[in-house]
Structure 1
Amino acid sequence: MCNLSGQNNFFGRRCVWVNGPVIVGAGPSGLAVSACLREQDVPFVVIERSDCIASLWQKHTYNRLKLHLPKKFCQLPRLPFPEEYPEYPTKKQFIAYLENYAQKFDIKPHFNECVQSAKYDEACQLWRVVTVSTTESTRSETEYICQMLVVATGENAEGVVPEIDGLQDFSGEVVHAKDYKSGENYTGKKVLVVGCGNSGMELSLDLSNHNAKPSIVVRSSVIFKLTPSKRSNLFSRKRIPIKTKHLINLFSLQVHILPREIMGKSTFDLAMILMKWLPLWLVDKLLLILTWFILGNTHKYGIKRPSIGPLELKNRHGKTPVLDIGALQKIRSGDITVVPGVKRFKRNSVELVDGETVDIDSVVLATGYRSNVPYWLQESEFFAKNGFPKTPFPSGWKGKNGLYASGFTRRGLAGVSADAIKISQDIAQVWKQDLNNKNRRLLRRCISTF
């Protein structure tokens, strides 16, 4: 039965009718959509599992983090960064910007509500979004009923923790990058960083700056296995049985390392300018030539480049090149050691694929993140099993039956802003034209069936 706001159904679940979209997630994607809808006077409800906006940034990022791209590519719609902010804002500055953004557009999420399920009701032609409170000692459920659902949980909702041979027997500390804050607690320790993306490189640099002794895995031929047992759903906090073994080769990828700036200009900005006039393959060639002059041959340090260029690799597979801010110099000096790959862990050491055994004290898993959409969204036509829209960019923002996806472009905050503008315009058009009248008809039809 379709219940109106504040009513309870037969199961004691509070039911809320939302005269507008429900937005799941109060990170940059959810905030951007909300702000654009606010400007068009479209009502909405934002649901957030944590107790704050942008919880990934506030609770699961390291202290030294800065935006990797210039601020003009990272600002959300309708509000630029303050002029006094540096070209690459710090973590604290970006969080302050987001807090101000939410205040300016009067965005007040429903905090501490984890989505258990979201399903389209064909009979009523409505979305039913069930949440559970995370603050009360007793389980409290709410069902939001709406015509439109915006999935804004993003690409990085859940940290990927692979099962690596022997890791459970390792006696030292093992943390995922999302739980790493600073290298100050690792001074003097031998730390293995598993993963060679931007996070892996920056954590290695941070560890070295705090006088730790980091080694970084930049290549491996080992296939790692995600645990096939029950795995916690970090979004809904349910236990989800994984029926099949998922095999992943997380670290067999070679990596492109580019300077963050070329001749005083952002490498990303330069690439965007060149792509206005030149084909992508040629821009890749030019970037790699310039990178060679600035960084030299990275192969001799154990870092081999992929056979396809950095921009093409990003477009094909979503693999972002590393923008170097000092880690490569530490690798050259020997302060950061590059290792070829992990074969297995032992109690106090790690055996590498080349047969060498290295003593280590701690492990940091910079093994990436993934979408958690498959855990709670009961839909398979628009979203694939990996939690991303099946339709590639730039058309992956809209599904059927009022379903939208924001922040799944693999194009950072610029992609978030582009999604938000398109989604809000589409919702506003529908809502302003006929949503109110359609709501009354659908409610009467749904109620009459019971």
Structure 2
Amino acid sequence: MSTSADHDSHEPVATLWRDGRPVYDRGETICVIGAGASGLAAVKNLKEHGFAVDCYERETGVGGAWNWRHDRSPVYASTHVISSKPFTQYPDFPMPDSWPDYPHHSQLLSYLERYADHFGLRPAIWFGTEAVRAEPADGDRWDVTTRSTGGYGTERTQRYAAVVVANGHNWAPKNPSYEGLEEFKGQVMHASAYKDPAQLRGKRVLVVGAGNTGCDIAVEAAQQAARCWHSTRRGYWYAPKYVLGRPADQVNDAVLAMGLPLRMRQWLFHRMLKMTVGDLTRFGLPAPDHKVYETHPIANSQLVYYVGHGAITPVRDIVRFRRNSVELVGGEEIEPDLVVFATGYLPRFDFLDPNVLGDDGSGRPTLYLNAFPRRHPTLAVAGLLQPDSGLFTLVHWQTVAIARWLRLRQTAPERAGGFQARVESDAGRRWHDAKVKDSTRHWFEVSHVDYLRALQKTLDELEVAA
């Protein structure tokens, strides 16, 4: 665990006060909240731009969601990335050539640990320390209050030049509500509590939700459970992980590089799915009510296989729960022993006033490039993205943009005004050429090509002269 000796040789002096509590001035140091994949990229790129950094991590190690020892990790035993290796890795820290196309979560954790060690990031991280509050202070600065994880120990408030929020958005479960759920006598759990196939063994399992996690759990239930039903609200496009002998996202990226219009790409994708997966309704799956690219891609080569073998029974949406059964749309009733809600997650920033991020009460921040809020130029969010590829490349360049922005405000404030005006006018813009579904699951959906183009334009604009 990091200690004060690891970070500074001089203890800061409390020369400021706020609401009767001392505030320790950290000068031009930047605060980063979270040491997962996004937080590590933020620390690394801020340091490379000459900033001192204090990073607070509530757990005892790096990795965030990819460290399944952490309480908030959504990772389960069989988790692999759904984006292939070239689209998952940081651009300045490639994954080993010997690794498979789709690395296992344990490999991802070792990769993040080596990234932290390679770039010397650990001395900047305070492990076992959670952010309690982050409040605006005079001069566009921030007072950040921290304490030891678990709520014990005294709180400490320090003033920073800026704050980068990287606490992740896949750890606060989105739990649905249904009539009669409280009276249901079977076992109910959210996918966040699912860790091992042994939890399914020999049971009659109902999996609710058709995202990548829901499909993975349904596939494992097909192999371990006595019976598996898979309930979905709508039909989806299930893409195989391999197309033409290559990872599907690499083939998709090659098509994007051709510069074809969206309708042509959708037509090609439909043709590919017709040749590889076929007509989904023939398997009892509902027909999709949207076109390809209008929802987050589902990469699963096994779901249709197990549906076709009768090991997964597709069923419609839930109407209500009864004491010993579940009623579905159309009147069908089933009797599961275990219901797994793979219904996703909601973003939570408990240490921030929601208004700071432009939240209108829905829980959805309003940001430019999913990173910059309108009214607080020294606050940024890293990694609040749901891309159609891997995250690490995008968050690398996103945090470079954040670092350049903070440096430009110091060195050329007259140039910074133009970018701030764009933040105020374009916050909330969607970076996707398709009409993406407006659901909580798709709040942060971006096309990696569109987003990277916007980032490149921003990086050029924010470049600081040597």
TM, length-normalised to structure 1: 0.80
- Which residue of structure 1 lines up, in the alignment, with residue 396 of structure 2? 417
Partner SS state of residue 202, structure 1? helix
- Determine whether 1:326 maps to 2:333: no
- Which residue of structure 2 lines up, in the alignment, with residue 266 of structure 1? 247
Q: Matches of 2:320 and 2:151 in 1, distance apart?
A: 42
1:64-119 Cα offsets, whole Å, 9 max, x none, are: 01010111111124211112111110010001101111112222322233322222
Q: Which of 406, 409, 413 pairs up with 1:427?
A: 406
97-106 or 17-26, larger mean C-alpha shift: 17-26
Q: Matches of 1:27 and 1:305 in 2, distance apart?
A: 37
Q: Matches of 1:384 and 1:298 in 2, distance apart?
A: 38
- Which residue of structure 1 lines up, in the alignment, with residue 313 of structure 2? 337
- Determine whether 1:45 maps to 2:54: yes
147-156 or 364-373, larger mean C-alpha shift: 147-156
**For 1:104-123, what aligned pairs fall within 5 Å after superposition?**
104-108=118-122, 109-121=125-137, 123=138
Q: Matches of 1:212 and 1:183 in 2, distance apart?
A: 12
Q: Matches of 2:167 and 2:199 in 1, distance apart?
A: 31
CA contact under 8 A between 2:37 and 2:64: conserved in structure 1?
A: no
> Residues 6 and 196 from structure 1, CA distance in 2 versus in 1: closer, same or farther, beyond 3 angstroms?
farther
> Residues 36 and 137 from structure 1, CA distance in 2 versus in 1: closer, same or farther, beyond 3 angstroms?
closer
Unaligned ranges ≥5, structure 1: 220-252, 314-318, 435-450
Structure 1 position 168, deviation (Å): 1.7
Higher RCO (CA-CA < 8 Å; seq separation 6+): 1
**For 1:292-371, what aligned pairs fall within 5 Å after superposition?**
292-311=274-293, 313=294, 319-371=295-347
Q: Which of 254, 271, 275 pairs up with 2:256?
A: 275
Q: Matches of 2:386 and 2:249 in 1, distance apart?
A: 15
CA contact under 8 A between 2:33 and 2:167: conserved in structure 1?
A: yes
Q: Matches of 2:128 and 2:324 in 1, distance apart?
A: 39
Partner SS state of residue 377, structure 2? coil
Structure 1 position 271, deviation (Å): 1.8
CA contact under 8 A between 1:20 and 1:43: conserved in structure 2?
A: yes
Partner SS state of residue 384, structure 2? coil
Give the AA of the match of 2:358. Answer: F
- Which residue of structure 2 lines up, in the alignment, with residue 402 of structure 1? 378
1:34-86 Cα offsets, whole Å, 9 max, x none, are: 11223333211111222322232223211101010111111124211112111
- Which residue of structure 1 lines up, in the alignment, with residue 144 of structure 2? 129
Provide the identity percentage: 27
CA contact under 8 A between 1:182 and 1:206: conserved in structure 2?
A: no
> Residues 432 and 27 from structure 1, CA distance in 2 versus in 1: closer, same or farther, beyond 3 angstroms?
farther
Give the AA of the match of 2:171. Answer: A
Partner SS state of residue 202, structure 2? coil
CA contact under 8 A between 2:143 and 2:160: conserved in structure 1?
A: yes
CA contact under 8 A between 1:32 and 1:420: conserved in structure 2?
A: yes
Structure 1 position 432, deviation (Å): 6.6
Structure 1 position 164, deviation (Å): 1.9
Structure 1 position 192, deviation (Å): 0.8
Give the AA of the match of 1:292. Answer: K
Give the AA of the match of 2:136. Answer: Y
> Residues 135 and 408 from structure 1, CA distance in 2 versus in 1: closer, same or farther, beyond 3 angstroms?
closer
CA contact under 8 A between 2:90 and 2:396: conserved in structure 1?
A: yes
Structure 1 position 296, deviation (Å): 0.8
> Residues 24 and 341 from structure 1, CA distance in 2 versus in 1: closer, same or farther, beyond 3 angstroms?
same
83-92 or 422-431, larger mean C-alpha shift: 422-431
Q: Which of 167, 172, 197 pairs up with 1:153?
A: 167
280-289 or 150-159, larger mean C-alpha shift: 150-159
Q: Which of 256, 264, 271 pairs up with 2:237?
A: 256
Partner SS state of residue 249, structure 2? helix
Give the AA of the match of 1:128. Answer: D
Q: Matches of 1:376 and 1:388 in 2, distance apart?
A: 15
Q: Matches of 2:27 and 2:313 in 1, distance apart?
A: 55
- Which residue of structure 2 lines up, in the alignment, with residue 81 of structure 1? 95
Q: Matches of 2:296 and 2:163 in 1, distance apart?
A: 29
Q: Matches of 1:16 and 1:77 in 2, distance apart?
A: 35
CA contact under 8 A between 2:223 and 2:311: conserved in structure 1?
A: no
- Which residue of structure 1 lines up, in the alignment, with residue 194 of structure 2? 180
- Which residue of structure 2 lines up, in the alignment, with residue 19 of structure 1? 28
278-287 or 405-414, larger mean C-alpha shift: 405-414
Structure 1 position 322, deviation (Å): 1.0
Partner SS state of residue 110, structure 1? strand
Give the AA of the match of 1:201. Answer: C
- Which residue of structure 2 lines up, in the alignment, with residue 284 of structure 1? 266
Q: Matches of 1:403 and 1:80 in 2, distance apart?
A: 29
Q: Matches of 1:355 and 1:282 in 2, distance apart?
A: 40
TM, length-normalised to structure 2: 0.77
Q: Matches of 1:210 and 1:41 in 2, distance apart?
A: 53
Q: Matches of 2:96 and 2:104 in 1, distance apart?
A: 13
